[in-house]
Amino acid sequence: MVMAESEETTRKGPSSQPPPAASRRLTVWCKSLVFRGDGYAVFDDADGRMVFRVDNYGVGQGSDMALMDHAGRVLLTVRRRHRKMLSLMPETWEVYNGDVEGKVINGHSVYHHKAVDGEPHLVMTATKDLCSSSCTVSVLAVDKPGLYRLSWSRQEEWSRIYRCCSTGDNTLVAEVRRKLGGPEKTTLLGKDVLSLVVQPGMDHAITMAMLMISNSYR
């Protein structure tokens, strides 16, 4: 009996191992679900359920953007830091966990966290490279902190996120393009309908925050 079980296990071979993780495909609709709002609605291609939503009631570059889950719980607050007119300083973004309210006093950002779990925590910063269609992103406090680079092409209508390695070899971790529809998936849908592919191991909420930042430069 023991020998038979051993032979059976050997015969099964690699099939007994768990399958490798697959990339996740999301559909990003660059519209708010709130009337006259500005934002996003993100759906999982596998089952059609909503994954994220962004509703920005104060439309404009100076407004915060709250990335929420399907139930409306705020996961991340994305804030644009203004640069002064005619300044050569690069434009920067800050991303905080949870629901954060803030204002600028004497040139400094002052934040108030709505949740009861303490002060807001900075999880990501992004810096727009001058005269370049790219952005450098530092992820500070997630499972896999590191340096990333966002690149985009207005003409070819794509955005890509790379994880920067110390060896100089960057790894593609996410990509967004115009979504294809129709019976044979060959027809481009509207400019506000995107297809986002996230590779295994990449945080989906952080990826969505990066997409929101890269879209702001288009």
Kindly report, residue by residue over 70-79, the tens digit of the pLDDT: 999 999 999 8
Q: 3-state secondary structure string, the chain?
A: CHHHHHHHHHHHHHHHCCCCCCCEEEEEECCCCCCCCEEEEEEECCCCCEEEEEEECCCCCCCCEEEEECCCCEEEEEEEECCCCCCCCCCEEEEEECCEEEEEECCEEEEEECCCCCCCCEEEEEEECCCCCEEEEEECCCCCCEEEEEEEECCCCEEEEEECCCCCCCEEEEEEEECEECCCCCEECCCCEEEEEECCCCCHHHHHHHHHHHHCCC
Average pLDDT, rounded, for the chain? 77
**Average pLDDT in the 117-124 region?**
74
Per-residue pLDDT tens for 21-33?
789 999 999 988 7
| Confidence grade of residue 202 (pLDDT, cut at 50, 70, 90) | very high
**Average pLDDT in the 140-158 region?**
83
- Enter the pTM of the model: 0.77
| Confidence grade of residue 133 (pLDDT, cut at 50, 70, 90) | confident
On whether the CB atoms of residues 65 and 59 are closer than 8 A, the answer is no
Query: Residue 99 above 90 pLDDT?
Result: no
139: β partners = 124, 146
Which CATH fold would you assign to the domain 22-215? Porin (2.40.160)
Note the pLDDT of residue 16.
52
Report the distance separating Cα 118 and Cα 195, nearest Å: 36
Note the pLDDT of residue 58.
52
In this structure, is the dihedral angle defined by the CA atoms of residues 45, 188, 181 and 33, taken in order, positive or negative? Answer: positive
| Confidence grade of residue 44 (pLDDT, cut at 50, 70, 90) | very high
Note the pLDDT of residue 131.
67
